[in-house]
Each structure stands twice: as structure tokens, then as C-alpha cells.
Amino acid sequence: MTNEDLQNIITGLGTDLEFTTEGSEFLNVIVPKEQLHSLCSQLKSNPKLKFDYAFCITGIDWVPALGVIYHLNSTELKHEIVVKVMVDDRENPTLDSVHDIWQTADFHELEIFDFFGIKFNNHPKLRRLFLTPEWEGYPLRKDYVDEANMIIK
Amino acid sequence: MTDQEVQNKIKTEEYFINMGPQHPAAHGVLRLILTIDGEIIKNVEPDLGYIHRSIEKMCERDSYQQIVHLTDRMDYLSSHINNEAVCLAVEKGLEIEVSERVKVIRTIIDELTRIASHCLWWGVMGMDLGALTTYFYAFRDREMINDIFEETCGARLTMNYNVPGGLMFDIHPNFVKRTKDFIAHFKTKIPEYNLLLTDNVIFHKRTKGVGIITKEDAISFGVSGPVARASGFSSDVRKHHPYSAYDRVDFKEILFTEGDTFARYQVRMMELWESVSIIEQLIDNIPEGETKAATKAVIKLPKGEFYQRVETARGELGVYINSTGNKNPYRVKFRSPGFSNLSILNHISKDVLIADLVATMASFDFVIPDIDR
């Protein structure tokens, strides 16, 4: 399916969705965080889309907002899109978990929580996965400073 | 009382036990917190980070040429393939087309790397299940591949042979001959491997029906590589998104449907033959040409996002580069096959014996630096 066809179908799945293909090989869908879970579950269940394979989930720090990027693939229909979601609150960023849609999100969300501090609602057990429980700060954020262990240019 | 009722009645109290971080079956520093009832596993919780180096953060500091050298410290048994992933992503961003010679050489070395990795896996899988001889057989043959690598690029494991735009230098004059010698030798050894382990009845009893993954679970958990193909999930990046010279070679994607430990074992054993076949198709036809396309000394990718995936010996490695147009990337993410494969371990290990978990983990072929990055 071409990106235009995908865009036409996905437009009807939510409100205020933004689409772009600029600077990317995939169709990018930017979704408001309130609609993340409902859009994702429809992306998987819609018979014309069937995005059943989340092959990459990335946390990112777009200063000042934080965000998550979902790379999705349909193993049956062979098309791919990218879903992006942003959260402005740096103190207490919260998004809905999508682990009930793609179970791989369980671990990837733990990794994002560990390094970016984004909390996921309804995650089965949100915890520090790589770092120790008492670790302060979130190392992959752009404003993280660790004078002992980082070479700051 | 029936046997089952007796068994239910003599339940012991559940307790925690640490498997690792220093456990021989983990092949590295992986800590699994097991909740067990007697010898039955109730829950597996991985605790990671013992060798986390935050390669993704280091990438934000380094230039694109430097990033390549960090990646072979992730999955050190697929180092050449990891290097290639970053190089392909950078080449995609710069819109450089590398020469045919580079593509073919990269593909040959990819497959040699895959054979070396599968050899090591075969050796330690036997060892995990108590068959020590496999280790010596496998390392004898793997040594020949490492010697070929050493002659061509100076390193045996962390090769650093790829650079954005091509290869660091041309292949050694002996490369073609030694590779052919190795292939001729190795084709007589795979049947020997099968005689020693594949047809062993004790091995069958330890692996058949153990750690079954269904196709739906494999897709949902993002499992890839031989583990996914053993469950019938066609996930070979070489087939679905061909890179380098994979679009012009003829090879089969090995698929099984059982999804158990023995199916994962068979996938890798048959992949050895496919790798041999790919090398045979290419080794006599290495085209002449440049080994490196001209790149600027300071590489700046245009603003945008670049995603490149490759098939390592463990599965799908994805490299996501987000560039703002500077000489450093804004964000780099490595979607490592081991991390996603590990996520299914708890799901398939409920109510199994501890010894079966060891067999299952052996068939996953974990490389811990690949999980920790």
C-alpha cells in the first residue's frame, strides 16, 4: 500500500493527526498523547492495516518535549509507518503503555523509563531495568550531567 | 489420591533464586531472578545493565566514523554486520552508492561472520547440555575463519573493516583462496556436527517440545532471527529488505513451525548450508572496482531520520539515526535482536524445569553486550 492510501485510512482513526514524510523513508504520523492508545489498537486491529510487528520503539528528547517513536510493520500486508508522540511535561511525563497491543513494548518501555523518565500508565511493572533503583536522573536526556563519568565537549 | 492430587498437595513454598550474573549458561553477565517452586520456574525477571556502556549516549558525542567502531562492541560475534548497519545508514543519508566490489566483499564477510557465530553457538549449546566435545569441534573450524579475518583486516573479532562509503582497504591477496579452502573443509564438517549432536537421542529429549514459541507470540514480542524463523515467522531482513549483494544471490529462508528448542537448533544448522551456498555463489565473481567511495573528512548527514536494518547472526538489528545536520547525530538507537528476544523468555518459561530454561537460553544464542549495549 502506498503512503497516500495509508494516510487516507489512518486519517479516519483519530482527530488532529499530523502526517509527514519529510526527511524520512516512512510515513510519519504524529498523534496527540491522549489518543496514542486508541490509535495504536486500531492500527493493529484494522483489517486494512494490521500493524502487528512493532520492530523498533525509541525514546527521544526533543528539547523541551520528550517523545517516543514507534516503528511499525505489518507482517502480512508488508507496509510500514512511524508513529510519534510527544509529551511536554519534563517533571512528570506520562504516556499510555501499548504493551497490551504489542508485547515487545513491555521491555522497550522499561528502557525508555530508565533513560528518559517517561512513565507508562498500565505498564505491568515499571522499574529501572538497566540502572540501579536509587539512580538519580535519566541519562539519555539532553540536560543530564554526570561530571564523574561523562566527557563533556 | 491420584498422582496429580498428591503432587498438588506437596507444594513447597515459592522462593527467589539468582541465576547469574555469573552463571555459565548465560554466557555473560546476565542476571535472571527466578521465582521457583521446587524445581519448577514460576517467574523469570531479567535484571540487566551489568555491562551497559550507554553506546547510544556515546554516539551523540562522536562523529559518524567513530560510531562504527562502537558497534562491534555490541554483538561481538556479528561485529562486521553491526559495522555494516551503521555504514549503510550513513550511506543512505549521504546518498552514496558503494561499488559492486564493496557490496560483494561485505556480503561474503557477513556470511563468514554468520558461520563463525553459528559455530560458536553450536559449540556452547552442546556444552550447556553436557556435551563438551562440540565446543572443540566448533572452535577448530571457527579458528580458520578468524584467521581469514586476521589476514584481511588485522583483527579477529572486532573487525572495524567497514567505513562509511566502503571498506577500510582491499582484501588480502590470499582471501579468495583461503575462503575457498575453508568452504571445502567446512562442507565436510557440517555432517560431522550432525552425527555428533543433531542425531543424538539424549539431545532430542532435552530439546524437543521445550520452550515453545507460537508464531503470534513471536510477532507480538518482536522476536527475530533464527528464533522467529523456528516459529514460522518469516523475518529474514536479507529477504524482505535486501542490502549489499543479497538481492542477487539465491538462498532459502529456513522456516520451521514447531517453535521449540530443537526447531531453533535446526534453523541454525540449515542456515550454515545457506551461508556456504551464498559464499560459493560470490567468491569467484568479486567484481573489480573501488573499495571506498569518496567521502568528506567530516561527515554531516542532512536533517532527517534514517533507519537501516540488517540481519545479524541473532536477528534483526535496526539502526535509527536522527540527524539535525551536524557532525554528530542527535539521537542514535540500536534496536538489538537480543533485547527483543530476551523479552519473551519469561512468557515461555512459566511452569518449566530449571534445566529446560538452560536449554531454551542456549537455543536463543544470547550475547549479553548486545542486550545491554
Range B48-68 average pLDDT: 88
Which residues of B217-352 form beta strands (DSSP E)?
304-311, 316-323, 331-335
Quick one: pLDDT band at residue B226, thresholds 50, 70, 90?
very high
**Backbone phi and psi for residue B83, each to the nearest 5 degrees, phi listed first:** -60, -40
Contact A98, A36 (CB under 8 A): yes
Domain that holds residue A82: 3-121
Is residue B32 situated within a structural domain? no
pLDDT tens string B105-153: 999 999 999 999 999 999 988 888 888 888 899 999 999 999 999 988 8
C-alpha cell of B359?
Answer: 536449554
What percent of chain A has pLDDT above 90? 11
pLDDT at A148 over 80: no
CA distance A125 to chain B (A): 11
Range B189-215 average pLDDT: 88
| Least confident among A7-11, B81-85, B230-234, B268-272 | A7-11
Quick one: pLDDT band at residue B351, thresholds 50, 70, 90?
confident
Q: Identify the contact set of chain A against chain B, taking CB-CB distances under 8 A.
A: 22-26, 52-56, 58, 60-61, 69, 71, 75, 78, 82, 102-104, 106-108, 111, 115, 129-132, 139-140, 151, 153
Is residue A130 situated within a structural domain? no
Residue B331 and residue A58: Cβ atoms within 8 Å?
yes
Residues in CB range of A39: below 8 A, 6 or more apart: A10, A13, A14, A17, A29, A31, A83
Instruction: State the Cα–Cα distance between residues B203 and B359, nearest whole angstrom.
Output: 10
- Number of domains observed in the structure of chain A: 1
Is residue B65 situated within a structural domain? yes
Q: Where are the alpha helices (DSSP H) in chain A?
A: 3-11, 36-45, 105-116
Is residue A149 situated within a structural domain? no
Residue of A52, A78, A82 lying closest to B219 (CB–CB)? A52
pLDDT at A152 over 70: no
Residue A75 and residue B233: Cβ atoms within 8 Å?
yes
Is residue B163 situated within a structural domain? yes
Residue B343 and residue A107: Cβ atoms within 8 Å?
yes
Is residue B223 situated within a structural domain? yes
pLDDT at B7 over 80: no
**Residues facing residue A54 across a β-bridge:** A72
A-contacting residues in B 244-303 (Cβ below 8 Å): 302-303
- Number of domains observed in the structure of chain B: 1
Is residue B46 situated within a structural domain? no
pLDDT at B13 over 70: yes
Contact B180, B281 (CB under 8 A): no
Range A98-102 average pLDDT: 89
C-alpha cell of A66?
Answer: 520528550
pTM recorded for the entire structure: 0.88
Instruction: State the Cα–Cα distance between residues B368 and B373, nearest whole angstrom.
Output: 8
Residue A25 and residue B307: Cβ atoms within 8 Å?
yes
Contact B111, B277 (CB under 8 A): no
Q: What is the CATH number of the domain that holds B165?
A: 1.10.645.10
Domain that holds residue B188: 53-341
Burial B336-358, CB ≥16 within 10 A → b, else e: bbbbbbbbbbbebbeebebebbb
Range A8-19 average pLDDT: 80
Is residue B22 situated within a structural domain? no
C-alpha cell of B193?
Answer: 556436527
The angle formed by the CA atoms of residues A2, A104 and B19, to the nearest 5 degrees, is 155
Is residue A136 situated within a structural domain? no
Is residue B369 situated within a structural domain? no
Q: What is the CATH number of the domain that holds A37?
A: 3.30.460.80
Residue A71 and residue B320: Cβ atoms within 8 Å?
yes
Residue B305 touches partner A, C-beta closer than 8 Å? yes
Is residue B222 situated within a structural domain? yes
Residue of B47, B220, B240 lying closest to A103 (CB–CB)? B220
Q: Search chain B and give the residue with CA nearest A101.
A: B220
What percent of chain B has pLDDT above 70? 98
What percent of chain B has pLDDT above 90? 24
Q: Give A-chain residues touching B47 at CB under 8 angstroms.
A: 129
